[in-house]
Amino acid sequence: MVLSQHQQRRRVQFYETDLAGIVHFSWYFRYMEEAEHALWRAAGLSVAPRGSDIGWARVSAACDFHRPLRFEDEFDVTIRVAVVTHKTIQYACDMTRGDTKIAAGTMTVICVRVRPGEPMEAIDIPREIATRLQPIVDADERRG
Amino acid sequence: MVLSQHQQRRRVQFYETDLAGIVHFSWYFRYMEEAEHALWRAAGLSVAPRGSDIGWARVSAACDFHRPLRFEDEFDVTIRVAVVTHKTIQYACDMTRGDTKIAAGTMTVICVRVRPGEPMEAIDIPREIATRLQPIVDADERRG
Amino acid sequence: MVLSQHQQRRRVQFYETDLAGIVHFSWYFRYMEEAEHALWRAAGLSVAPRGSDIGWARVSAACDFHRPLRFEDEFDVTIRVAVVTHKTIQYACDMTRGDTKIAAGTMTVICVRVRPGEPMEAIDIPREIATRLQPIVDADERRG
Amino acid sequence: MVLSQHQQRRRVQFYETDLAGIVHFSWYFRYMEEAEHALWRAAGLSVAPRGSDIGWARVSAACDFHRPLRFEDEFDVTIRVAVVTHKTIQYACDMTRGDTKIAAGTMTVICVRVRPGEPMEAIDIPREIATRLQPIVDADERRG
């Protein structure tokens, strides 16, 4: 299946909170990654199939935090494929709870070959992956 | 003491690695936070003194990943106070292993009042804190 | 509702794996806690309602690890209320993947009063909680 | 070097706390593992040398929690080699803060061969490792 985005609901776990009583900011990056991998599964793919020598290294990650999350809060994580180049994929991610904007982030990954004892080497994204993860086209762009 | 930066050495722990054999990207944000809190301690402060109703909420965090870290690698985390406004502090952070640039990130925090049962409220940074954390002044700016 | 056990399905996340390619053992304790808290929710309870001064401190936790879990594995976590005393609850937990026994653990928690600036104090489990979490009675015991 | 125990000081990090304001219980298992790996390093060993096909799978882990740890607390982790068999090592671990007993735990690991695409297979502990990690002999036993 060709996919451009994926949404999933998530509940805050106790161990994700810190002494301030809210989710520790490092968890938002894991929430984004969970959604990324769920998007791949929904597209019939895995970021790490057993025995594969292809991996995905993070190039960058960023997140703006708008409202805190607390224990047992349910929230939605929506991830979109924003840009695909020969070797990289950029995702954009929104976290919301009802109408409340919780956080918004981006992540860029690069396709790498991973061989035991060798440094990672950037490679072109395999065709069977590139054809299934298509960047979102904005309505404005489509009209243009 | 008045401080603008802090450096500390850290060793990669087993539980910080993932199946790719390298440190999971979410940990870099925790490395930055560790350095931030060590900077505060070095300045004679704590981000969370017992009984205090003042806290520091993350506004944003970002990191670029240059080289992977592996189990038992030792690396240095250098954090600098980049910008201080009435209510916010922005940090810049470099992670290096010897001459190798591992990662570089930024974090912005906002000073908040935290009272049980009330939403967090942004407040001015207390004077005794603001006087101890001074932004780095670049050589270029000093000359200017 | 009166409950004695709860089962839930869980998928292994990327950040739960370590360089050995399997779930890090510390995560099994979090899986048990997730199931514990889901059991409470299913019973109409929360281990940490907002504004409550009652908490649950871990007294002990133990786990035997039978088979590894890998990225994207789905598995079931079944938690049972094993023993309830005036102040403590002991849980027993099984983790399985299909017919394969993955792990089995126990946790004991004690009911505590938590007041700002005071040490935790063990207290009797509130009646409205004790009536909803009933220990499993084994078939053998029932016959006896 | 032949070693039977190792002690190290550790400071509680912010992200190790939970909404109860104390260290989440899952972290104690990571503290034990940190000490285990530091013991190995002190003995001139690594639990996971690059390129090695020998690993250490957890068989079991347990911990009793006596007193809570809070943000920025400093505490000592002392790990001892308790029992060594042909294939397994059992550790005993004490966590203390000054004279206060914080926690006490045990972990058992089994030596395994890890080959890509094959299930883990239990093997005898290599001689160069077994000779460096010697179980503690109690004074009572020595007298006997």
pLDDT tens for residues A33-63? 999 999 999 999 999 999 899 999 999 999 9
Can you give the pLDDT at residue A117? 77
Q: What is the pLDDT of residue A116?
A: 77
Task: Give the closest of B26, B51, B117 to C51, CB-based.
Answer: B117
**Tokens describing residue D111:** 């030596």
Name A100's Cβ contacts closer than 8 Å, sequence gap at least 6: A66, A67
State the pLDDT confidence band at D118, using cuts at 50, 70 and 90.
confident
Residue C37 reports pLDDT greater than 60: yes
D88 domain-assigned: yes
**What average pLDDT does the segment C60-89 reach?**
98
Distance from the Cα of C53 to chain B's closest Cα (Å) equals 11
Residue of D17, D50, D51 with shortest CB distance to A18: D17
Is residue A110 within 8 Å of A59, Cβ to Cβ?
A: yes
Q: Examine the pLDDT at C46 and tell me if it is beyond 90.
A: yes
Integer CA distances (angstroms), D48 to B73, C32, D19, in order = 12, 28, 34
Domain count across chain A: 1
Per the model's pLDDT, the better-predicted residue between C118 and A112 turns out to be A112
Establish if B144 belongs to a structural domain.
Answer: no
Tell me, what CATH number does D49's domain have? Answer: 3.10.129.10
Q: Do A27 and B30 touch (CB under 8 A)?
A: no
Asked whether residue C142 is assigned to any structural domain, the reply reads no
pLDDT digits (tens, 9 = 90+) for A59-111: 999 999 999 999 999 999 999 999 999 999 999 999 999 999 999 999 999 99
Tell me how many residue pairs between chain A and chain D have CB atoms under 8 A apart: 34
Average pLDDT, chain D: 94
pLDDT at D144 (0 to 100)? 47
**pLDDT per position as a tens digit, D21-66:** 999 999 999 999 999 999 999 999 999 999 899 999 999 999 999 9
Tokens of A99: 């109408």
Secondary structure of chain B as H, E, C letters: CCECEEEEEEECCHHHECCCCCECCHHHHHHHHHHHHHHHHHCCCCCCCCCCCEEEEEEEEEEEECCCCCCCCEEEEEEEEEEECCCEEEEEEEEEECCEEEEEEEEEEEEEECCCCCCCEECCCCHHHHCCECCCCCHHHHHC
- Strand stretches in D1-144, DSSP E: 5-11, 54-65, 74-84, 88-97, 100-113, 121-122
Mean pLDDT of D73-77: 98
B143 part of a folded domain? no
Q: Please give the distance of CA B5 from its chain centroid, rounded to a whole number.
A: 10
Q: Can you tell me whether residue D92 is helix, strand or coil?
A: strand
Give the contacts of A104 (CB within 8 A, at least 6 positions apart).
A63, A64, A66, A92, A93, A94, A95
D70, pLDDT greater than 70? yes
Chain D residues inside the 8 Å CB shell of A14:
18-19, 24
pLDDT of residue D107: 98
Closest by CA to C36, choosing from D39, C28, D17, B65, is: C28
Instruction: Name the closest residue on chain D to residue B30, using Cα atoms.
Output: D15
Would C93 be classed as within a structural domain? yes
- pTM summary value: 0.95
In a domain, C141, yes or no: no
Backbone angles phi, psi at A87, to 5 degrees: -115, -15
- Rounded Cα–Cα distance for residues C45 and C133 (Å): 10
- Per-residue confidence band for B139, with pLDDT thresholds at 50, 70 and 90: low
The answer to whether residue C95 scores a pLDDT higher than 90 is yes
At residue A3, the pLDDT reads 93
Q: Residue D97 — pLDDT band, cuts 50, 70, 90?
A: very high
- Does residue D26 sit at the C interface (CB-CB below 8 Å)? yes
How crowded is the C-beta side of D14, counted as CA atoms within 13 Å?
A: 27
Per-residue confidence (pLDDT) for residue A135, from 0 to 100? 95
Is there a domain that residue C72 lies in? yes
Give residue C35's domain range.
5-136
Q: What is the mean pLDDT of residues B74-92?
A: 98
Instruction: Show residues of chain C in contact with B51, CB under 8 Å.
Output: 116-117
Q: In this model, does residue B98 exceed pLDDT 90?
A: yes
HSE, side-chain direction, 13 A CA sphere, residue B98 = 4
Return the percentage of chain B with pLDDT > 90, whole number. Answer: 86
If you ran DSSP here, which 8-state letter would residue A130 be given?
H
DSSP state of A16: G
Find the angle CA(C69)-CA(B31)-CA(D71) to the nearest 5 degrees.
Answer: 90
Judge: C13–A50 Cβ closer than 8 Å, yes or no.
no
Number of C-beta neighbours around residue C99 at 10 A: 5
Cα–Cα dist D82/D93, whole Å = 9
Q: In this model, does residue B68 exceed pLDDT 70?
A: yes
Mean pLDDT across B39-51: 95
Task: With CB atoms and an 8 Å threshold, state whether C25 touches D61.
Answer: yes
Question: Residue A142 — very low, low, confident or very high, per pLDDT cuts 50/70/90?
Answer: low
Model confidence at B142: pLDDT above 60: no
Is B51 an interface residue toward C (CB < 8 Å)?
Answer: yes
CB B135 within 8 A of CB B81: yes
Contact between A77 and A101 under an 8 Å Cβ cutoff? The reply is no
How many B×D Cβ pairs under 8 Å? Answer: 32
Residue (of C65, C71, C68, C67) closest to C12 by Cα position: C71
pLDDT for A139 beyond 60: no
Subunits in contact with chain D (3 or more CB pairs closer than 8 Å):
A, B, C
User: Which of C45, C38, C35 lies closest to C132 in space, CA to CA?
Assistant: C45
Is residue A144 pLDDT above 50, yes or no? no
Q: Provide the mean pLDDT of chain B.
A: 94
Residue A115 touches chain C, beta carbons under 8 Å: no
Q: Is residue B90 part of a domain?
A: yes
